[in-house]
Amino acid sequence: MKTNGHRPHTSMSARVLTIAACAPLLALLATGCASTDTGAAAASTAKPSKASKCGLGNGKTATGPAIKLGAIVSDTPGLSFTDVTDMANAYFSCVNANGGINGRPVKLVVEKDALDPQLTASLATKLIDTEKIVGFTASSSVLDCSVNAKTYEQKAIYGIDAGLALDCFNSPAIAPINVGASYSALATAQYLLDKGAKKLVVFTSNTPDSNAVNSSIQALGKKAGVPVTAWVENVPIADANGLALKAAQAAGADGGVVVNLNAGEALKVFKAIEQQGLIDQAKWGCPAGCNDQSMLQQLGSAWDGKLGVNAEVNLASSPGPDNQLYLQLRQKYAPKTQLGNFGQLGFTAARIAVQALLSIKSGDYTTATVGAAFKGVKDYRSDLYCKPWYFGTQAFHTANNTTRTITPKSGQWTQARDCSEMPALPNNKFAEIRAYEKQIGLG
Amino acid sequence: MNVLEDAHRATAPDHARHPTAAIGHRLRQPLSAAAWPAGVAAAALLLPLFTSAYWIQVLTAAAVFSVAALGLSVLYGRVGLISLGQIAMLAVGGWTAERLGQTGTLPFWLVLLATGVVTGLIGIVIGLPALRLSGLYLALITLMLAAAVTIVLTNINFPNGGPGFLGYDPVKSGTVPLARPAIAAGDTAYFRYTVVVCALMFLLAIAHTRGRPGRAWAAIRQSEHAAVAAGINVTLYKLWAFALACFMTGVAGALLAASAGGLTVYQFPPQESITLLAALLMAGMYHFAGAVVAGLMLKAMPALLDTWGVSGNILLIVFGVGLVQTLVTSPQGIAGQLSRDLARLSARLRVRRTTS
């Protein structure tokens, strides 16, 4: 199925903008526009495009019984991903005000879980058996995939979600729209290697996937021929100063450190690094969890250009039509959500789901038809992504396997590196994924 | 002596305060205490006919937590030993059961029993400080123990089919629930199985409190010195109480390990034991029915609030306010109040019948 997703740079205005943006650089540098390590906020300075439309975009209010989709989102003190579902709901509100799904409204039933597997399992049962949802969209739970993936597979109910745990990427029933913490850490390590790191250091917060993350980076180090020091760190961090010193010493001269913690804990470490004057002792990187606006505000100028953060989607300041729509909907429906990553992911999940639902022409929205529509999503294009997204028929999904790197600069996130592929390693499936992409014409 | 103990001494039922009263109580109502768990079990067995799969899973968790509350009820309500390590013991039970179950050779009932024995033995070790300590100090020690269990579990994780003694494979992700018995593979059947096992735990606790240990505990609760003077082996009966409470909580942990979702280290934070204590005080520390109410308050109430569109987090506030209200106006908790009201209603009906 070919979706109605927007193709970046295909409209006339986008082409003109691209040429206009490239011309001075071509003249001055005689290099290509798509520099791989510019360190410039190229995206944020371009003129914004006209925003994409919501669903049918006909301005008519949807009526009739709602098509129910479900989401399970983690929401506990200190660990909340509700920005994902809030922005998904914002997009659905806009869709319902613009013709809905062929006239019918779509409703996202959101259940909030904590870190309790029994609760997570029961919420999935509630959504499927009681709420009678026809598919999952924008789920973003720490435990959902680990606990419920098999149930979803058995009941043939499919999800276009924001995956957190590795299990989300290894289920035939779930296709994450994001990269996830593990692969994001891998991409960060690759970025540090590309920046010239001669040794890699990684410390990961102690979660069920932490050892797998570290193993992945060790495999990357082996492939690149650089030594890797990896350990698991219990959170909350008790001694950030000691940890900062330990990491810098482990990295040594020309080493790169992946601080694989969530934004709040990582900030403690970055502050300790700054206070001890260790910023220039090593190259520092952080996975997508650090792509957080509040963290950016607290980092300070000392970190300008010194920290590489993996970005699962484009900058919130980027001028593309989908990002413009995201900004408009956030302002209108979800102003309390943080600007950036998680909100963009929720928006994207909802957008893909709506385009899949719109492809069902029979008017029959069941788990079977919606599942088939979800699975049929292929070649979804968006300015938020580096390359087309698809659901695919494989038992594992990481369609978003090409990401950007961003860095703080003058109080803004700016692009440090353009789209780069995740490294294929013996202990991940990127080689198979890319072979599959070639097979379906997306390679 | 803390506020809770003051309240307890003032309000504990007669059979908890006076050994002789306990005997009288036992003689007057030999079957009543056993009747209600049987009634609850019967009702619970019929419940699946009238409720959804979601509520089956919620009530399974509630049944498990009612046994954890029962352990605390025995320790504090009967012997006066405060323990803030019951949730940690639930986790230890879950870990032990998952590890034993991973061998694949033991039948489920034997895994339950073996888990209970292991946690019971650990309970004896935990009980050793209780021989010299009580009140706030014992609470602190058990809370620190719970924190230690959390730290250990954070580092070793729950078994997931890996090799070695720990049975944990760091590369493998996802939770791995304990395999259920063949007769209770589905959620509904497992709920019934859980209810039956939980009812057995309640009957075990009732049998203890109505026998020699119960009388000894009541004496210790009233005055350790008087109990020693009366020839009661205080050391034995204190350790016995810890062993029993930990045995029951361990079995509950094993049941939890096989419920939907498996186990993670996140679900057993040390502070959860304080919530358990608060819920049990509100529900009725001195009545075993209170443990059932506490289980429902901890697991079914959040689900009910969620159904009404209210955040389950509000329960922490409700528990705080409710605890104050309970200690001030109704120290015997919801179960005690219900029991008293039912007795009054029954008496009035009897009077009306005899006068008419």
> CA A321 to CA A76: how far, in whole Å?
33
Q: A381: distance to nearest CA of chain B, Å?
A: 31
Contacts of B48 in chain A (CB under 8 A): none
The tokens of B219 are what?
A: 């004496």
* Chain-chain contact of A206 with B155 (C-beta, under 8 angstroms): yes
* Chain-chain contact of A118 with B171 (C-beta, under 8 angstroms): no
Instruction: Say if CB A124 and CB A148 are below 8 A apart.
Output: yes
The tokens of B240 are what?
A: 């016995």
Greater pLDDT, B208 or A4: B208
Burial class (CB in 10 A: 0-12, 13-18, 19+), A130: middle
Q: What is the mean pLDDT of residues A74-82?
A: 82
Task: Count how many domains chain B has.
Answer: 1
* Least confident interval from B57-61, B197-201, B300-304, B351-355: B351-355
Q: B33: distance to nearest CA of chain A, Å?
A: 31
Peptide bond into A426 cis (omega under 30): no
Residue of chain A whose alpha carbon sits nearest to that of B176 = A147
The tokens of A338 are what?
A: 């943080």
Strands of A219-281 (E only): list them.
228-233, 255-260
Q: B149: distance to nearest CA of chain A, Å?
A: 14
* Least confident interval from A220-224, A301-305, B18-22, B224-228: B18-22
Greater pLDDT, B309 or B26: B309
A224 CB-near residues (< 8 Å, 6+ apart): A193
Residue of chain B whose alpha carbon sits nearest to that of A77 = B313
> CA B202 to CA A24: how far, in whole Å?
80
- Residue type at A273? I
Q: Is the pLDDT of residue B237 over 60?
A: yes
Contacts of A165 in chain B (CB under 8 A): 173-174
For strand A402-409 and strand A412-421, is the pairing parallel, antiparallel, or unpaired?
antiparallel
Question: If you write DSSP's letter for every residue of A277-332 in order, what string do you get?
Answer: T-GGGSEEEE-GGG--HHHHHHH-GGGTTTEEEEESS--TT---HHHHHHHHHHHH
Contacts of B155 in chain A (CB under 8 A): 206, 234
Counting residues of chain B whose pLDDT is more than 70, the rounded percentage is 88
Residue of chain A whose alpha carbon sits nearest to that of B174 = A146
Instruction: Report the pLDDT value the prediction gives residue A382, as an integer from 0 to 100.
Output: 95
Question: Residues in chain B, how many?
Answer: 356
**SS3 annotation, B17-83:** HCHHHHHHHHHHCCCHHHHHHHHHHHHHHHHHHCCCHHHHHHHHHHHHHHHHHHHHHHHHHHHCCCC
B260 touches A at CB < 8 Å: yes
- Tell me the β-bridge partners of A291: none
Torsion region of A34: left, alpha or beta (phi above 0 gives left; psi -120 to 50 gives alpha): beta
Strands of A312-411 (E only): list them.
402-409
Instruction: Report the pLDDT value the prediction gives residue A43, as an integer from 0 to 100.
Output: 42
Residue of chain A whose alpha carbon sits nearest to that of B55 = A122
Instruction: Report the pLDDT value the prediction gives residue B37, as an integer from 0 to 100.
Output: 67
Greater pLDDT, B76 or B18: B76
Instruction: Say if CB B136 and CB B81 are below 8 A apart.
Output: no
* Least confident interval from A88-92, A367-371, B180-184, B260-264: B260-264
Instruction: Report the pLDDT value the prediction gives residue B356, as an integer from 0 to 100.
Output: 66
The tokens of A63 are what?
A: 């009526």
Q: Hey, is A225 helix, strand or coil? A: coil
Q: Which residue is it, tokens 């057995």? A: B200
Instruction: Report the pLDDT value the prediction gives residue B120, as an integer from 0 to 100.
Output: 94
Restricting to A residues 242-301, those with a Cβ less than 8 Å away from any Cβ of B are none
CB atoms within 10 A of CB A69: 30
Instruction: Report the pLDDT value the prediction gives residue A94, as an integer from 0 to 100.
Output: 97
Restricting to B residues 67-106, those with a Cβ less than 8 Å away from any Cβ of A are none
pLDDT (tens digit per residue) in B101-128:
988 788 999 999 999 999 999 989 888 8
pLDDT band at B200 (very low <50, low <70, confident <90, very high): very high
Report the candidate in A79, A140, A141, A86 with the shortest Cα–Cα distance to residue A108: A86
CB atoms within 10 A of CB A321: 22
B316 touches A at CB < 8 Å: no
Instruction: Report the pLDDT value the prediction gives residue A51, as an integer from 0 to 100.
Output: 85
CB atoms within 10 A of CB A168: 27
Q: Which of B54, B174, B262 sits opposite A129 (nearest CB)?
A: B54
Q: Is the pLDDT of residue B4 over 60?
A: no
Instruction: Report the pLDDT value the prediction gives residue B36, as an integer from 0 to 100.
Output: 67
Average pLDDT over chain A, rounded to an integer: 87
Q: What is the mean pLDDT of residues A287-300?
A: 88
B330 touches A at CB < 8 Å: no
Residue of chain B whose alpha carbon sits nearest to that of A144 = B261
* Chain-chain contact of A117 with B267 (C-beta, under 8 angstroms): yes
Q: Is the pLDDT of residue B21 over 80?
A: no
CB atoms within 10 A of CB B77: 27
- Residue type at A284? W
* Chain-chain contact of A234 with B54 (C-beta, under 8 angstroms): no
A215 touches B at CB < 8 Å: yes
Q: Is the pLDDT of residue B49 over 50?
A: yes
The answer to whether residue B347 is domain-embedded is no
B306 touches A at CB < 8 Å: yes
Q: Is the pLDDT of residue B5 over 70?
A: no
Q: What is the mean pLDDT of residues B139-155?
A: 86
Q: Is the pLDDT of residue A370 over 70?
A: yes
pLDDT (tens digit per residue) in A306-337:
999 999 999 999 999 999 999 999 999 999 99
Residue of chain A whose alpha carbon sits nearest to that of B313 = A76
Report the candidate in A345, A377, A347, A341 with the shortest Cα–Cα distance to residue A359: A377
Q: What is the mean pLDDT of residues A13-37?
A: 37
* Chain-chain contact of B261 with A117 (C-beta, under 8 angstroms): yes
Instruction: Report the pLDDT value the prediction gives residue A287, as an integer from 0 to 100.
Output: 94
Greater pLDDT, B37 or B11: B37
Q: Which of B173, B256, B303 sits opposite A208 (nearest CB)?
A: B173
Q: What is the mean pLDDT of residues A110-139?
A: 93
Q: Hey, is A200 helix, strand or coil? A: strand
Instruction: List the single best residue of B173, B267, B305 to mutate versus A (max A Cβ within 10 A).
Output: B173
Domain residue spans of chain A: 1-179+316-400, 181-311
Residue of chain B whose alpha carbon sits nearest to that of A117 = B261
Give the distance, in angstroms, between the CA of residue B190 and the centroid of all CA atoms in the same chain.
Answer: 19
Instruction: Say if CB A342 and CB A371 are below 8 A apart.
Output: no
CB atoms within 10 A of CB A154: 9
Fold type of domain A1-179+316-400: Rossmann fold (3.40.50)
Q: What is the mean pLDDT of residues A67-91?
A: 91
Fold type of domain A181-311: Rossmann fold (3.40.50)
Instruction: Say if CB A90 and CB A47 are below 8 A apart.
Output: no
Instruction: List the single best residue of B54, B87, B275, B276 to mutate versus A (max A Cβ within 10 A).
Output: B54
pLDDT (tens digit per residue) in B271-322:
888 889 989 988 888 888 889 999 999 999 888 888 888 877 788 888 888 8
Q: How many CB pairs under 8 A join A and B?
A: 94
Instruction: List the single best residue of A74, A112, A122 to mutate versus B (max B Cβ within 10 A).
Output: A122
Instruction: Report the pLDDT value the prediction gives residue A46, as an integer from 0 to 100.
Output: 64
For strand A67-76 and strand A79-80, is the pairing parallel, antiparallel, or unpaired?
antiparallel
- Residue type at A96? N
Q: Which of A112, A117, A126 sits opposite B175 (nearest CB)?
A: A117
Contacts of A109 in chain B (CB under 8 A): none
- Residue type at A209? D
The answer to whether residue B240 is domain-embedded is yes
Average pLDDT over chain B, rounded to an integer: 83
pLDDT band at A78 (very low <50, low <70, confident <90, very high): low
Q: What is the mean pLDDT of residues A343-364?
A: 95
The answer to whether residue B300 is domain-embedded is no
Contacts of B299 in chain A (CB under 8 A): 118
B189 touches A at CB < 8 Å: no
Q: Hey, is B352 helix, strand or coil? A: helix
Contacts of A110 in chain B (CB under 8 A): none
Q: Is the pLDDT of residue A33 over 60?
A: no
* Chain-chain contact of A146 with B60 (C-beta, under 8 angstroms): no
B129 CB-near residues (< 8 Å, 6+ apart): B138, B141
Q: What is the mean pLDDT of residues B69-79?
A: 90
A154 touches B at CB < 8 Å: no
Q: B101: distance to nearest CA of chain A, Å?
A: 18
Instruction: Report the pLDDT value the prediction gives residue A315, as an integer from 0 to 100.
Output: 93
Instruction: Say if CB A170 and CB A396 are below 8 A apart.
Output: yes
ipTM surpasses 0.95: no
Instruction: Say if CB A258 and CB A185 are below 8 A apart.
Output: yes
The pairs formed by B229-237 with CB atoms below 8 angstroms and a separation of 24 or more are: B234/B131, B235/B131, B237/B79, B237/B213
A185 touches B at CB < 8 Å: no
Q: Which of B151, B173, B262 sits opposite A166 (nearest CB)?
A: B173
Greater pLDDT, A209 or A354: A354
User: Which run of H or E residues covers position A431?
Assistant: helix A430-439
* Chain-chain contact of A117 with B262 (C-beta, under 8 angstroms): yes
B91 CB-near residues (< 8 Å, 6+ apart): B149, B150, B153, B253, B263, B265, B268
Instruction: Report the pLDDT value the prediction gives residue A1, as an integer from 0 to 100.
Output: 38
The tokens of A279 are what?
A: 């910023």
Edge to edge, what strands does the sheet with A255-260 contain? A228-233, A199-205, A255-260, A283-286, A307-311, A402-409, A412-421
* Chain-chain contact of B58 with A208 (C-beta, under 8 angstroms): no
pLDDT band at A45 (very low <50, low <70, confident <90, very high): low
The tokens of A173 are what?
A: 């029933």
* Least confident interval from B24-38, B174-188, B276-290, B294-308: B24-38
